[in-house]
Amino acid sequence: MEDSQPRMIHLVIDGQPVDVNEGATLLDAARQAGKEVPTICYHDHCTANGLCRMCVVEVEGARLLSPACVAQAAEGMTVHTRTARVERSRRTILEMLASSVDLSDAPEIQGLMALYSADAQRFPDASRRSHPVIDDNPMYIRDYSKCVLCWRCVQVCAEDAQYTFALNFSKRGYETSIATFYDKGMMETSCVFCGQCVGVCPTGALKPKRQWLLETGMGAEDVLSQTRSKARRKRRSEHTPGND
C-alpha cells in the first residue's frame, strides 16, 4: 500500500532544529522556527517567484545566498537567517530600491529600511523611476513611480486569483514596468475591477481612486460625484442590451 504521509525534512535554522514536510521552502521552515525573514515580492496568496531577493538566507556549504521564499528545505541543511553577509545583502537591496523608487507610500519597506539601517541616499546618482500617474478608470489609479516590480498585481490578475490577465510586464531591464497589453487604458482591457491587485500592492503604486482623490485634498462630496457616477455609468452601459 502506498504511504501517503509526507516525508519529513530535518534541518537546523539559526541553531534550532526544525522538522518540515518535504516541499516546504526555507521561508516556511524559518517561520515554523519562529524566525523573522523579511519579504517584499512574496505574498502568502501569490505564487513565489524569487524576484526581490529580500528574503535571502545563508545555507552552509552553498556559494550563493538563497532566496528563502523559493528555495526548498533539504535534509540536513544548516541555515542562518541573520549573518553579516545576509544583512549586508538585504540592506543593499533596500538602498537600491530607495534610490530608484518612490517608497513614500510603502510603510512595510520603510520599516525594513529602519530595521536594516539602510541609507536611502547611498546611490545618489541612480536614475529614479518617473512615470505620470495613470488615472484612466473610476476605481483605482496606477502610479508606477512607486512600483517595486514585485509582480503581485500581475499574479492575482492571472492564475493566482482572477484569471483576467489585464496586467503584465512590459519592456526589459531598467525599463521594465507593469502595463496593460498594448498599453491600453484600463477600461479597454479585460479588467473586471475586482480590486485584488490594489489589495496586494505593497507600495501604494495601485491605490483606490477615492483614497487618491481624498489625498489630493478634494472634498468627500466631489470625490463621490467623480467616482460613483462614472462607476454607475460603466455598469449601466455594460448591462444595456446591445452593448456587449
# binding residues, ligand FES (CB under 6 A): 12
Instruction: By CB under 6 A, tell whether 201 contacts ligand SF4.
Output: yes
Smallest gap from Cβ 181 to ligand FES, in A, equals 25
**C-beta separation of 29 from 13 below 8 A:** yes
Smallest gap from Cβ 204 to ligand SF4, in A, equals 8
# binding residues, ligand SF4 (CB under 6 A): 14
Closer Cβ to ligand FES, 50 or 195, answer by number:
50
DSSP lists the bridge partners of residue 10 as: 19
Closer Cβ to ligand FES, 90 or 207, answer by number:
90
Instruction: By CB under 6 A, tell whether 149 contacts ligand SF4.
Output: yes
Instruction: By CB under 6 A, tell whether 109 contacts ligand SF4.
Output: no
Inter-residue long-range contacts of 228-235, CB under 8 Å, 24+ positions, other chains counted: 230/138, 231/138, 231/139, 234/138, 234/187
Closer Cβ to ligand FES, 93 or 206, answer by number:
93
| Segment contacting ligand FES by CB under 6 A, of 10-18, 50-58, 94-102, 109-117 | 50-58
| Segment contacting ligand SF4 by CB under 6 A, of 29-37, 77-85, 86-94, 200-208 | 200-208
Reading the block at residue 128, the C-alpha cell is: 529614479
Give the HSE-up count for residue 33: Cα atoms under 13 Å, Cβ half-sphere.
Answer: 26
Instruction: By CB under 6 A, tell whether 101 contacts ligand FES.
Output: no
| Segment contacting ligand SF4 by CB under 6 A, of 121-129, 150-158, 211-219, 236-244 | 150-158
Instruction: By CB under 6 A, tell whether 52 contacts ligand FES.
Output: yes
Instruction: By CB under 6 A, tell whether 46 contacts ligand SF4.
Output: no
Instruction: By CB under 6 A, tell whether 30 contacts ligand FES.
Output: no
Instruction: By CB under 6 A, tell whether 206 contacts ligand SF4.
Output: yes
Per CB under 6 A, the list member of 12, 32, 50, 161 interacting with ligand FES is 50
Instruction: By CB under 6 A, tell whether 40 contacts ligand FES.
Output: yes
The residue whose grid cell reads 510603510 is 107
Interacting residues with ligand SF4 (CB under 6 A):
147-153, 178, 200-203, 205-206
